[in-house]
Amino acid sequence: MMTGAHALVESLKREGVISIFGIPGGAIMPVYDVLYDTSEIRHILMRHEQGAAHAADGYARASGRPGVCMVTSGPGATNLITGIATAHMDSSPVVSIAGQVPSSLIGTDAFQEADVFSLMLPITKNNFLVRNASEIPQVVKSSFELATSGRPGPVHIDLPKDVQTAEFEADWPESEAKQTDPPKTDPNTISQIVEMLTSSEMPVIFAGGGAIQAGCSKEILALSELLAVPIVTTLMGKGIVPETHPLCLGMLGMHGLKVANKAVQESDLLFGIGVRFDDRATGKVRQFAPNAKVIHLDVDPSEFEKNVRADLPLSSDAKAALGMIVDQLLAKAAKLRKSERIQRIERLKMENTNDAVVPSQPISPQFAVKEIMRALDEDDIVVTEVGQNQMWAAIHCKISKPRNFITSGGLGTMGFGFPAAMGAKVARPDSNVIDIAGDGSFLMNCNQMAAAVENDIPVVVAILDNHYLGMVRQWQELFMKKRYSAVYLGERTDFVKLAESFGARGWKVERPGELLEAMREALKCGSPAVVDVEIAREANVFPMVPPGASLDEIVD
């Protein structure tokens, strides 16, 4: 016999959970009482529930394992919603658990009651309102299976307080909950793809976050090298192959690299792998890759035809399908048109690449990001906030491995970066983790510095400090005749003192020559740290495709 609270904790242990990010409250207190005696699970007390969700998300993205967050009912649960929506948009496996008022009070507007089940429906793969303690073992098992199977995503469990205290005789699931297996891949379809790839003149591989989730980096690189096909990525696909590889052209889209956009626009075949063809990647859809046939490989068939018409859609596990494609190519031993394709790639790079960044005073954000990257190794993790800082990082950070670049893509959630970096550091403690931040975005969840210090999570925040909500200011400059409305953050925030007030370390950088050493000291100090980098106030992110324009209309 055990209580529902004991059953929940035991179920989490059986799922391999070793870290939970959360904040207790009255409606979840029985579970926290059990955690008091549970040495196998580390609970990290966050300072706001949104941060708990982002930390669980960062943990999931860095590790590939589900991240777990836990809060109380009412405002505790509703504060999770932005973080869960962020995970949902980027297909990140998070299991969130919230206490709920006793079953008899549900629907009575009881103290700290909210209909969290309904609120979570549109932003989760599934969610559960547990009515009986005996359901808990299977609900937890199912939640973890759903979060990680097929297209990953968040799952929520709502747990009334009386269910937590009820006693029952536990019956642990003997077998795993049924997964949704990827559809079987038709060899004839694979043969069609092989024929399309070998016969086209200017094919391009277009890889997204789904490719990282599928773990198909080796297969994509093998396909690219076999056929000399260039690779472009979405923001979420950064790191699927080393961005220094000669066949990787980098990120495309609104703030994508000119060479990547040009390659797509000139292509006659676009092979989309784990991508949504979202508006920030495609620009004006009707003029996106206008001469290209499209192959769309994704585990989730609901993405087909949603934004871009596919000549050949294939719903399959990307790793398995790409493995079959590579095997057919090797067996076929066909004469491949590599030399012509390599010449085209070299021409594109020569005509559309300009990486020159020089020191300047005030510090340019491009220079700042490149100096930050000099302080890191290829196994280190770059997390970003949202805004100009995010795009400067996406453009100038050369990422070598999957899961080493973590950002809020679909929802674009300001305040995501710092708590997500904390989660990533908990997941991979041997890697340095840095949050490239804007001052506005960092301020939204800077209170999590207290949690980082108290829980000894040595994350470094590098703030590109321009005293503005920079991306909004840039758009107001370009499209609103420089009428800066409600974007100036002021001069008085001292980020070094703010860090020190929490017990963290802080550095202020105002000259280009100071930045690299400050970053190295911050990474070595063994404490959460902030490096506040004063950058040019009105620096803009370029290249840029104006909203509503095609990828051909890039401004650089």
Active site residues: 49, 111-112, 161, 471
And the tokens for 466?
């321009």
| Cα separation, 66 vs 56, whole angstroms | 8
One-letter amino acid identity for 506? G
223, 217, 189: which is closest to 203 by C-alpha?
A: 223
Q: Tell whether the torsion through CA atoms of 276, 279, 285 and 290 is positive or negative.
A: negative
And the tokens for 133?
């303690």
Phi then psi for 143, rounded to 5 degrees?
-60, -45
Distance of CA 489 to the CA centre of its chain: 27
* Contact of 132 with 104, CB cutoff 8 Å: no
| Cα separation, 248 vs 250, whole angstroms | 6
- In which order are the strands placed within the sheet that holds 405-406? 405-406, 381-384, 433-438, 460-465, 529-534, 505-509
- In which order are the strands placed within the sheet that holds 293-298? 248-251, 231-233, 203-207, 269-273, 293-298, 312-315
| Cα separation, 269 vs 187, whole angstroms | 20
Angstrom distances, CA of residue 48 to CA of 70, 224, 276, 387:
11, 44, 31, 22
User: What's 433's DSSP letter?
Assistant: E
| Cα separation, 362 vs 425, whole angstroms | 32
103, 104, 91: which is closest to 130 by C-alpha?
A: 103
And the tokens for 118?
């309904």
| Cα separation, 537 vs 499, whole angstroms | 22
Give the contacts of 44 (CB within 8 A, at least 6 positions apart).
19, 20, 21, 22, 55, 422, 426, 451, 455, 457
| Cα separation, 263 vs 367, whole angstroms | 26
Angstrom distances, CA of residue 419 to CA of 146, 279, 297, 412, 428:
24, 27, 32, 15, 14
